[in-house]
Amino acid sequence: MLFTRIVDTSAAVGATRSRKAKTEALQTVLADAEPAEVETVVAWLSGEMTQGRIGIGWRTLSDIDAPSTDDAVLTVSEVHDAITAVASTSGAGSTTRRRDLLTDLFGRCTRGERDFLIRLMTGELRQGALEGVMTDAIAKAAGLPVEPVRRAFMLSGHLSVTATAALTGGESALAEFVLTVGRPVRPMLASPAESLSQAWTEFGGDVSVEYKLDGARIQVHRSGDDVHVYTRTLRDITSSVPELVELIRELPCTSVVLDGETLALTDSGRPRPFQETMSRFGAQSAHDLLLQPYFFDCIHLDGVDLIDEPLERRLDALERVAPRHRIPALIRPDADAAAAHADQALQEGHEGVMIKALSSSYAAGRRGRTWQKVKPEHTLDLVVLGAEWGYGRRTGWLSNLHLGARDPDGGDPIMVGKTFKGLTDALLQWQTDEFPKHERSRDEHTVYLEPDLIVEIELDGVQVSSRYPGGVALRFARVLRYRPDKTHAEADTIDAVRALLPS
């Protein structure tokens, strides 16, 4: 397949807001790809490289002096091999050798192909091919129902690998993906609840009511003495959390996969600010800030996979293996007991509670209704689209934030409001230093950003508004914190924002 097909498909996907049109464009190119090309094509159209980041910045790439060609003759495999050669070059003289390889590659590219490669290599390629759209396209190209593709992706962790299995081996190949201890599983997510009583009533009280901690999501894998700890984005942080590794090795089992939260506590046992917990993930040693784990699910124990079992059975397994490290929870409480448990969670400094159906399986990577989060205030995880220069005492600082919700069909984030409330001097300074690293463009008053940064916003609600393209606007929005543990794909959608409109 010619490389230009990928470039043209990327442009077509990015030019439409229609989920159907995106899916059809992706389906067509996947159906035409050779089996050996599928993994690369899916990765590129998802904005990733199969080689991972190759450590070359935008300035280096844009400074390469190589005239473009008018003829699109490069194939997908030729470009893939060239990138692999660059990624594998190291040692003395590697900088010059890598530049020579890139100069040769760019000299065989059209202008459009070169632009695509620069954005791909620098992580700036965003054409709207989000996971959900790509998953649908893979299923359609393979002539399969979408659910087996989703499940295989959940267990493999790699959409490109899943696509190859679907297109070359069909449903039987997808069925070969199983939970493997040591390979992280995409975490199950929760949806906002209208209220505690509504969520309790929805499941007839057949629920677990758990504290919702203001911590960092972790997934723990152990096989014998081999322990790995992953973040919600599946990043391996094992070397940064030795105290967790030691604790997991002491559990009474030979193999286990646990889902939970970790957080740092004050001397009085109350949770420290979220940012302090997150700071440990980049540290090389524990220093004086020890992390405590609190688990709420067990999806594998001693050779038995529990991912398809109901939550009630998974909680029984969790009680057997880690009873002292469970998140405080009530099983089948009546409505009054559930409300009292929620009040106690808030009094102890936590965010609220989670309501989970005891019959629910572990639907990894999905934000379903069987897990619902209950907080006293509305909060949304939104994309920072830009920031305006402040005035008065904020002169010289990037202040007023432009906030966007994620388009579930893969388009650009949809602006839903602005706010400068909740910004401390420390956050203003951080924004002013950090935002230019993500700059897309600017004018006299505003620096516009690539959709890389996620911020958690507290608000009193939303209202209908013609001011913003989504038709809604935030009411009394204020910044709670930035979420470095979340990616653009995990931001709340415009549908989630609209769901907060008064009925």
Residue 373 is labelled as binding a ligand: yes
Active-site position among 20, 22, 140, 212? 212
Residue 351 is labelled as binding a ligand: no
Asked whether the beta carbons of 421 and 446 are under 8 A apart, the reply is: no
Spell out the long-range contacts of 22-27 with Cβ–Cβ below 8 A and sequence spacing 24 or more. 22/128, 22/129, 22/133, 22/137, 22/409, 22/410, 23/133, 23/136, 23/137, 23/140, 24/137, 26/129, 26/133, 26/134, 26/137, 26/141, 27/137, 27/140, 27/141
Q: Distance between CA atoms of 299 and 308, rounded to whole angstroms?
A: 8
Q: What are phi and psi of 456, to 5 degrees?
A: -90, 125
Q: Distance between CA atoms of 188 and 373, rounded to whole angstroms?
A: 13
Q: Distance between CA atoms of 69 and 107, rounded to whole angstroms?
A: 7
C-alpha distance from residue 335 to each of 57, 64, 296, 360, 389 (Å): 56, 66, 21, 20, 49
Residue 232 is labelled as binding a ligand: yes
Asked whether the beta carbons of 385 and 208 are under 8 A apart, the reply is: no
Q: Distance between CA atoms of 277 and 496, rounded to whole angstroms?
A: 27
List CB contacts of 71: < 8 A, sequence separation 6 or more.
110
Burial of 310 (0-12, 13-18, 19+ CB in 10 A): middle
Residue 210 is labelled as binding a ligand: yes
Q: Distance between CA atoms of 454 and 487, rounded to whole angstroms?
A: 7
The helix/strand count (H/E) of the chain reads as 17, 19
Asked whether the beta carbons of 26 and 9 are under 8 A apart, the reply is: yes
Q: Distance between CA atoms of 354 and 346, rounded to whole angstroms?
A: 12
SS (H, E, C) 341-402: HHHHHHHCCCCEEEEEECCCCCCCCCEEEEEEEECCCEEEEEEEEEEEEECHHHECCEEEEE
Q: Does 421 qualify as catalytic in the annotation?
A: no
Residue 296 is labelled as binding a ligand: yes
Asked whether the beta carbons of 299 and 305 are under 8 A apart, the reply is: yes
User: Which DSSP letter does residue 328 get?
Assistant: P
Residue numbers belonging to the annotated binding site for ATP = 210, 217, 232, 261, 296, 367, 373
Residue numbers belonging to the annotated binding site = 210, 217, 232, 261, 296, 367, 373
Residues annotated as catalytic (active site), given as ranges: 212
